Amino acid sequence: MLSFIAKRLLSGILLLLVVTSGTFFLAHLAVGDPTPGLLGNSATAAQQDALRAKIGYDRPLLVQFWDWLTHAAAADFGTSWRSFQPVNDQLVQRVPVTLSVVVFATLLSAVIGVAVGIVCGLRPGGMLDRTLKLASVVLFALPGFWISLVLVTWFAINLKWFPAIGYVSPDQSVSGWLSSITLPSVSLALGAIVMVAEQLRNGFLQVTNQDFVRTLRARGLSGRRVTTHVLRNASPAALTVLALMFVGLLGGAIVVEIVFNLPGIGSLTQSASQIGDIPVLLGLTAVTVVFVVIVNFLLDLLLGWVNPKVRDR
Amino acid sequence: MTRNRTAALVAAVAAAATALAGCTSSGGGGGGNAPAAAGDELKAGVFLDVTSWDPANADIGFDGPYLSAVYDPLVALDKDGKPVPALASSWEWSADRLTLTAKLRTGVTFEDGQKFDATAAVANIQHLKAGVRSGQAYLNVADAAAKDPETLEIRLSKRDDALLYQMGLGRSWMASPAAITAGSLATDPVGSGPYKYDKGASAPQSQYVFSKKTDHWDAGTYPFPSVKLFPITDQTASFNAMLSGQLNLQFANAANLAKAKESGWNISQKAASWVGVQFADRTGAQVKALGDQRVRQAISYAFDSAGILKAVGNDSGTVTNQVFSVDGQVYDKSMNDKYKTDMAKAKQLLSDAGYPDGFSVKMPMSPIFAAWQPAANQTFGELGIKVEWQDMAMPDYQKNAPTYPMFLAVIALAGNDMATLTDQVTTAQWYNPNPAVDAFPEIKALVDQVEKAEPGQPQTDLLKQLNTKLVDQAWWAPWYQANNTYFSVKGITVTPVTGMMFPTLRFIQRG
């Protein structure tokens, strides 16, 4: 188990290094000289030179990279080229917003998706199963922003149950926090629920037809215990989908953050890209990769727990 | 100036948001609600986040409401763009108009306890003059001095009849000299303004909370005990927040006018920017054809400006070929028919200029200008002008557009006609990289006369002559002047001011 964890940790660190290094050079290539974007076009050449010196952009690229890398290794992502505030401070403000929405959306997807998947797997062709098939077609066909707008129109504008925009920190109000993340999370979760349910339902049907299930039934195990065995064997595909969903939702959060005006990492990525604030972009990339690594690591642990054969691979 | 970047962004996003707005409008329900009433709190959706709390690095465009909460200006503007007293209670110009002497208000202190006086004002003027963004307003200011604690003297190296307007527009916010020295203004504003910034209750880039100082010297001008400002770039999100009651004032998309009327809201609109083709190469240095007045006129004749305003600009604006604000004294409505759409005449002019088969030109393109690209493509195509569009992101557009012979532009209007002359004609800007006034003797002579004329009617009369000449020369090819639109609930009124993308707080009142 220890070697399993060490391997995953090592590959995670390697991934982090490769992705952030690639982003560093690609961002510099794409942005070019950031000073016009940061200062506006009325800045004089002297003002632009001063800013280049202040942010260290006048140094050779490899020196900049090494400086960034050594600081990033100590979890110091430098200072924003626009606000001159530590990137870490911005991440501390922004990451909880996106994480709140994405984690809540993932939980909704897991709980509802698994419940629906089991029921549909137990009663294929039933009313819920047919509804799931229809929902999967409809929800995949509809763009996410449209679903968000419909939810806002119904639940924020007409019924006034939830706010149309904004984020409330749990420090300020737990109920306000829940209220502010509900609609964005539901918007993100709808597609994911259907996908998890479909995977689980299909896996359930496949496993139900296997010989060991017939044997379990023949030995007189209760329906509930048989279902537990079937679920354990059918769940790897759904778990993988759920983990992929989490990563996908991190990326998809940008649309939801715009529609609900949430101050998360999606909108920060957008604004940092527009003005060429490379330290912020790199900090965001690093954080995102860390989340991807953590989720994949947890997925591997979960799969190993569900199916011990995986641990030996 | 940088406010033109925001003008471009605003206009493009407004155009792009039209389709989305349709979703919310038809979503219904909101209109069935009783019109929200104004409470004690102003909750405004401001489109863009504050650029910087440091007045020297702030943008004029959308920073006005934020900065006007925490800072007092030396000079303010009235609704017509006329400079009015603020921390400077009065002023007078020397006979040669090279020295401005201002009497300062007494008894004003900054939030850190420092006193506002002439020494503090001098420190601010020097800071603003050196500022990356504010410096452009002080190009002609040589220095500033404190004659006595209540008297400020600003000396100019060259006469500048737009200086007071620029100061009132958002270039004379006074900050504590100690905070200027400490270099901490960018994140921690220290001013003497009508509201106190509640940093603890605010979430930067999401919402900013302010509470009123009841002992402020001009407290009567600011009716709201508390103010919340929300930067919301997505206009559908902003409109939804209005419908749900989370906002009681928003920077609006004109596409939602019908729904706003149905909701019983107050609606304010005013000209804010001009939209059209900017000629950066009027001398023909890059593309010889553009140096010929007939070619520029041909381009002006070719476009269906009214059609573009309707299709892309939500019909919210005024079709015109002038860049002097339609609400100003120089604008001449009777000239608007000069380049009435006439493709045959456009082709004839092009042929007369020696280009019967058109010519080739490269133009920059950015996603925020994409809404106008099909119209431009079609028109240039009909005219025989072969355009090679070169795609780039918006910051690159600003950086590179000046290197192209012409480009599509959305450029902020000035609410002062002398400022229009400076911004659009005589001074090099990113959107006007080669003023080249000297290459046009008739224009140059008129500019000289205007700059030497007595302010008031004599100057305005000369500006009108200059405007006529500029239109005749097809100095630019504007299609229309686009309005900015604001929705507010009953009980709150907004008075838009040309030059400010979002008015400062003194223009938001009960009513």
What is the b/e burial string over A101-138, where b = at least 16 CB atoms within 10 angstroms of the residue's CB?
Answer: bbebbbebbbebbbebbbbbbbeeeeebbeebeebbee
C-beta atoms surrounding B53 within 10 Å: 26
Beta-bridged to residue A10, according to DSSP, are none
Residues of chain A with Cβ-Cβ distance to B230 below 8 Å are 165-166, 261
CB-closest option in A145, A158, A166 to B206:
A166
| A1-48 pLDDT, tens digit each | 678 778 888 888 899 999 999 999 998 888 788 887 777 766 778 888
Q: Does A204 touch chain B (CB under 8 A)?
A: no
Report helix, strand or coil for A42. coil
Rounded CA-CA distance A72/A120 in Å is 47
| A223-234 pLDDT, tens digit each | 888 888 888 887
Given a cut of 50, whether residue B36 has pLDDT beyond it is: no
Q: Does A263 touch chain B (CB under 8 A)?
A: yes
Pairing of strands B249-252, B41-45: parallel
The residue-averaged pLDDT of B144-155 equals 97
Residue B298 Cα distances to B318, B341, B343, B436, B474, angstroms: 21, 10, 8, 21, 9
CB-closest option in B24, B232, B395 to A36:
B395
| B54-110 pLDDT, tens digit each | 999 998 889 999 999 999 999 999 999 999 999 999 999 999 999 999 999 999 999
Q: Does A258 touch chain B (CB under 8 A)?
A: yes
What is the b/e burial string over B280-306, where b = at least 16 CB atoms within 10 angstroms of the residue's CB?
Answer: bbbeeebbbbbbbbbbbbbbbbbbbbe
Residues of chain B with Cβ-Cβ distance to A39 below 8 Å are 132-133
In this structure, are residues B415 and B77 in contact, taking their beta carbons and an 8 Å threshold? yes
List, as one string, the DSSP characters of B415-484: SSHHHHIIIIIIS-BTTBS---GGG-HHHHHHHHHHHHSPTTHHHHHHHHHHHHHHHHTTSSEEEEEEEE
Amino acid at B29: G
pLDDT value at residue A41: 67
pLDDT value at residue B359: 96
Q: Which residue of A has its CA nearest to B50?
A: A83
Given a cut of 80, whether residue B1 has pLDDT beyond it is: no
What is the b/e burial string over A187-208, where b = at least 16 CB atoms within 10 angstroms of the residue's CB?
Answer: bbbbbbbbbbbbbbbbbbbebb
Residues of chain A with Cβ-Cβ distance to B241 below 8 Å are 164-166, 261
CB-closest option in B52, B132, B246 to A163:
B246
Per the CB < 8 Å rule, is B29 touching A43?
no
Per the CB < 8 Å rule, is B236 touching A149?
yes
pLDDT value at residue A5: 79
Cα distance from B334 to chain A (closest Cα, Å)?
35
| A214-268 pLDDT, tens digit each | 888 888 888 888 888 888 887 787 788 888 888 888 877 888 898 899 999 988 8
| B445-503 pLDDT, tens digit each | 999 999 999 999 999 999 999 999 999 999 999 999 999 999 999 999 999 999 999 99
List, as one string, the DSSP characters of B249-275: EEEE-GGGHHHHHHTT-EEEEEEEEEE
Per the CB < 8 Å rule, is A153 touching B30?
yes
pLDDT value at residue A102: 93
Per the CB < 8 Å rule, is B29 touching A157?
yes
Rounded CA-CA distance B75/A120 in Å is 71
C-beta atoms surrounding A56 within 10 Å: 15
Per the CB < 8 Å rule, is B234 touching A258?
yes
In this structure, are residues A157 and A239 in contact, taking their beta carbons and an 8 Å threshold? no
Rounded CA-CA distance B145/B151 in Å is 9
pLDDT value at residue B22: 36
Rounded CA-CA distance B368/B366 in Å is 5
Amino acid at B37: A
Given a cut of 80, whether residue B32 has pLDDT beyond it is: no
How far, rounded to the nearest angstrom, does the alpha carbon of residue B488 sit from its chain's CA centroid? 21
Q: Does A173 touch chain B (CB under 8 A)?
A: no
Interface size between A and B, measured as CB pairs under 8 A:
128
Q: Which residue of A has its CA nearest to B32?
A: A158
Cα distance from B298 to chain A (closest Cα, Å)?
30
